[in-house]
Amino acid sequence: MNLNHPVTYIKGISVARAELLFTELGIKTCNDLLHLFPFRYIDKTQFYTINQLQQNSAEVQIVGKITGVKTVKQKRGSRLVATFSDATGTMELVWFKGVKWIKDSLKVNVPYVIYGKLNWYNGIPNMPHPEMETVKEYKSKLQMAMQPVYPSTEKLSTKGISNKVMRTMIQNLFQQAYNEIEETFPAYFIEEHQFLGKKESLLNIHFPKNQELLAKAQYRLKFEELFFIQLQLLQKKLIRKSKLKGFVFEQVGEEFTDFYNNHLPFDLTGAQKRVLKEIRKDVGSGAHMNRLLQGDVGSGKTIVALLTMLLAIDNGYQATIMAPTEILATQHYNGIIELLEKTDIKVELLTGSTKTKKRREIHESLLDGSLHILIGTHAILEEKVQFENLGIAIIDEQHRFGVAQRRKLWEKSSSDGRAIPPHILVMTATPIPRTLAMSVYGDLDISVIDELPPGRKEIKTVHRYDSNRLGVFKFLKDEIAKGRQAYVVYPLIQESEAMDYKDLMDGYESISREFPSPKYQISIVHGQMKPADKDYEMERFAKGDTQIMVATTVIEVGVNVPNASVMVIESAERFGLSQLHQLRGRVGRGAEQSYCILLSSYKLSSDGKTRLQTMVETTDGFKIAEVDLKLRGPGNIMGTQQSGVLNLKIADVVKDSPILHVARKAAINILQEDPNLSEIKNSSLLKAYEKLRKTSGIWSNIS
Ligand code: ADP
Ligand code: MG
């Protein structure tokens, strides 16, 4: 039997069952079924001693005695912790719920059988909410055998594909096709890493003989999954570096030098200089640059972008910056023409609201090469916009752009048949945790600005409940009296949601009452306004004509008003961490002490609480991103959709990051020695890799 055969080849799988497996779980072939991994195991065949416990996802059964019980106070309520010992060691049993009556029912120094999943903390196991009975009770019952538990759906179980049926099907599959399972790793590699073989790994992931073999099987399969992703990403990078030509910006010319020496308004930070060097090395190399520039809000990415563009111009190329919103594009435009005031460089702005006549002018000057820098929104992607020779495209805040859009950008300067795409620099203020960056952007080069310009004061962040709003308003008045300005932001998660919109308008009204004109002037900006109205309001605030800006998250990205020093976030518990961090970054841009006030109701989920607390505790974007990743998982972090990290069957990029590191290193070693996997000893790798490449959709020109 061939593993690519449909599952109907397996004994016990009728056409009807096969259809169910497909519609419910996407399983078509024997191979698919082989890779439907159990998500947990019931193991009551065996007793473990505390010193035998392994770090895997199985549940274990232990006999021992409770030697002590204590209640530990925590932020909310308390937890019950029992010390549990056998002859070989000690562990803890933990309860978060029903603490009171469990405490009363626990018997100290009476032999118990406990059963459950382990958590590991600092290398010490604990078992939350164990199933437990006294040994006496246990002996009076019949015990079940060890079994895998498979993912299921309601329909599967009502149509008779119970866990037991699933188990039998998979058992049959192993009986019929065990010998068809091919090893994907070369022998030397297996030996080097002490892996379990592929067959054994698959067998033990479904029907583990014991905990140790299960742990080994899990390790091998997780490693394999992560390894092949890394292999893909790294090879893609290699191909780009070796095969994909890039324009060469070899000389640092007049424009760059003149600007750098005469018009740069400040000294670059060490980090900015370093990043600029990295970029220069890339664009001078003859290879195509595809670089991600990470830098926290306010770290000064814009000037790096500008200097990079000057480099392009010095070498006869055009440059473009694309921003996700009109506000942001306009701001880049204003900032850049101010910086370039004393030079001859021509800069234009193209957005959805650019007038037809202006648009035509821009199209022409792009084509005849007289326009050097085009700044804009998605409007730049329109087909009509063609450059004479676009050398570099800079994308600001890239999480708003999809892959397809980036591909359009790629084609901008190859319209006349030249095969060389513009260099790409993607700038993001959302720091990506290292682990994730490796698995999502493993094929990009990454530069990090990890230093803020000097003289910035740390933003003071506090969390206040709604009932303190008057106090907050008082504080705002004091700050305004000192000449400062403030933002008040409302969550409009979906700009169309009527409820949120009403909240915003109610808020605007109450603030208008509290801060009456003519003493106070208030701006309002939200997504339902016309771009021109938005700009007008932003402009008034930027010029200092208004003191308060009531807004939705449209101001989240990039807006720069240095005199604004207070950020009030309403219903802060409803925002995600990265959004909160972005919003906070709107203040702290000037010389004054800045503040961020997070207002929330008393009703907070535990995640909500963690988010607010994280914001109060740190301004470090990378720390915030780590917490975010832990809270939300990789699925919600930008870029992950395209990367394949979500389709992982067994590994978890967050929890398995130690394995990821080893796998990446192994992939690097192999590619260094054998970049095309053409050596005989790597033939099994090549075969598995080719198969994967065909089936996964993660290959695209621009990441
Ligand atoms: P972001 O990385 O968030 O895009 P910006 O490029 O908007 O940050 O820079 C934030 C502010 O810091 C701007 O007002 C900019 O002029 C200023 N800035 C950038 N680099 C420096 C520097 N090296 N020294 C002083 N100020 C700087
Ligand atoms: Mg910016």
Read out DSSP for 117-132?
E-EEETTEEEEES-EE
Helix H or strand E encompassing 55: none
Atom nearest to 269 CA in ligand 1:
23
Number of domains in the chain: 4
The answer to whether residue 652 is domain-embedded is: no
**From atom 19 of ligand 1, which residue's Cα is the shortest distance away?**
300
Indicate if 298 and 268 belong to the same structural domain: yes
The residue range of the domain holding 665 is 182-243+657-695
Strand extents, DSSP E, 154-239: none
Indicate whether 207 and 125 sit together in one domain: no
Phi, psi of 548, deg, nearest 5: -125, 135
Tokens coding 61: 């059964």
- For 657, other C-beta atoms within 10 Å of its C-beta total 18
Q: Which among 259, 263, 266 is the best mutation to test ligand 1's pocket, defined by most ligand atoms within 8 Å of the CB? A: 266
Residue 603 lies in a domain: yes
Residues 6+ apart with CB under 8 A from 676: none
Q: Is 301 in the pocket of ligand 1 (CB under 6 A)?
A: yes
Take residue 419 and report the two structure tokens written for it: 């095969």
Structure confidence by residue, pLDDT tens digits, 343-355: 999 999 999 999 9
Q: Are residues 423 and 298 in the same domain?
A: yes
Residue 611 sits in the same domain as residue 684:
no
| Residue 676 sits in the same domain as residue 591 | no
Does one domain contain both 464 and 445?
no
Asked if 552 and 492 count as a contact pair (C-beta separation under 8 A), the reply is yes
**Are residues 73 and 132 both part of a single domain?**
yes
Asked whether residue 125 falls in the same domain as residue 195, the answer is: no
Q: What is the CA radius of gyration of the chain?
A: 30
CA distance to 578, 581, 587, per residue, from 574 (Å): 12, 13, 20
Longest dimension (CA), the chain: 91
Ligand 1 atom having least distance to the Cα of 272: 23
Q: Is residue 506 part of a domain?
A: yes
Ligand 1 centroid distance, CA of 453 (Å)? 7
What's 584's domain CATH number?
3.40.50.300
With contact defined as beta carbons under 8 Å apart, do 294 and 527 qualify?
Answer: no
In terms of DSSP bridges, do strands 78-86 and 59-73 run parallel, antiparallel, or are they unpaired?
antiparallel
Q: Is 512 exposed, middle or buried (0-12, 13-18, 19+ CB in 10 A)?
A: middle
Whether 4 is in a domain gets the answer no
Nearest Cα residue to atom 5 of ligand 1: 300
Single-letter code of the amino acid located at 605: S
Backbone angles phi, psi at 395, to 5 degrees: -115, 120
Please report, to the nearest 10 degrees, the dihedral formed by the alpha carbons of residues 70, 73, 78, 80 taken in order. Answer: -20
Q: 588: Cβ below 6 Å to ligand 1?
A: no
- CB of 667 closer than 6 A to ligand 1? no
Write down which residue in 595, 618, 641 finishes a domain: 618
**Looking at the CA of 321, which ligand is closest?**
2
**Dihedrals phi, psi of 34, to nearest 5 degrees:** -60, -30
**Does 5 reside within a domain?**
no
Cβ 589 under 6 angstroms from ligand 1: yes
Residues, the chain: 703
Looking at residue 110, what is its pLDDT?
Answer: 94
Nearest to 595 by CA among 459, 450, 445, 689: 459
Examine the domain organization and report whether 439 and 468 are in the same domain. no
State the sign of the Cα–Cα–Cα–Cα dihedral 152, 158, 161, 162: positive
Judged on CB neighbours under 10 Å (0-12, 13-18, 19+), 28 is middle
Which of 292, 303, 328, 586 to mutate for ligand 1's pocket (most ligand atoms within 8 Å of CB)?
303
Residue 529 is given by DSSP the state: S
Check whether residue 530 and residue 561 sit in a common domain: yes
pTM, entire model? 0.68
Same domain, 475 and 347: no
Q: Check whether the bond before 518 is cis (ω within 30° of 0).
A: yes
CA pseudo-torsion sign 236, 238, 239, 240 = positive
Whether 38 is covered by a domain: the verdict is no
Which residue has 């740190």 as its token pair? 618
Give 452 Cα–ligand 2 centroid separation in angstroms. Answer: 13
| pLDDT tens digits along 586-607 | 898 888 899 999 999 998 998 9
Q: Which ligand is nearest to the CA of 582?
A: 1
Question: 206 lies in a domain?
Answer: yes
Collect the ranges in the chain with pLDDT lower than 50.
144, 414-415, 697-703
Task: Say how far residue 266 (Cα) sits from the centre of its chain.
Answer: 33
CA atoms 14, 16, 20, 23: torsion sign = positive
| Two tokens, residue 498 | 């009527």
Among 414, 449, 484, the domain-final residue is 449
Cα dist from 625 to 521, 527, 619, 620, whole Å: 36, 26, 11, 9
Residue 269 beta carbon below 6 angstroms from any ligand 1 atom = yes
Index of the ligand 1 atom closest to the CA of residue 449: 2
CA of 588 to the centre of ligand 1 (A): 11
Distance CA 619, CA 627 (A): 12
Q: If you measure from the C-alpha of residue 387 to the centroid of ligand 2, how many angstroms do you get, rounded to a whole number?
A: 24
Cα separations in angstroms, 425 against 133, 257, 332: 61, 21, 16
- 40 part of a folded domain: no
Residues 473 and 420 in one domain: no
Q: Give the residues across from 111 on adjacent strands.
A: 65
For tokens 């059964």, name the residue.
Answer: 61
Residue 441: closest CA among 229, 214, 227, 659: 229
Q: Which residues contact 530 (CB under 8 A, 6 or more apart)?
A: none
Q: Identify the domain boundary among 449, 474, 493.
A: 449
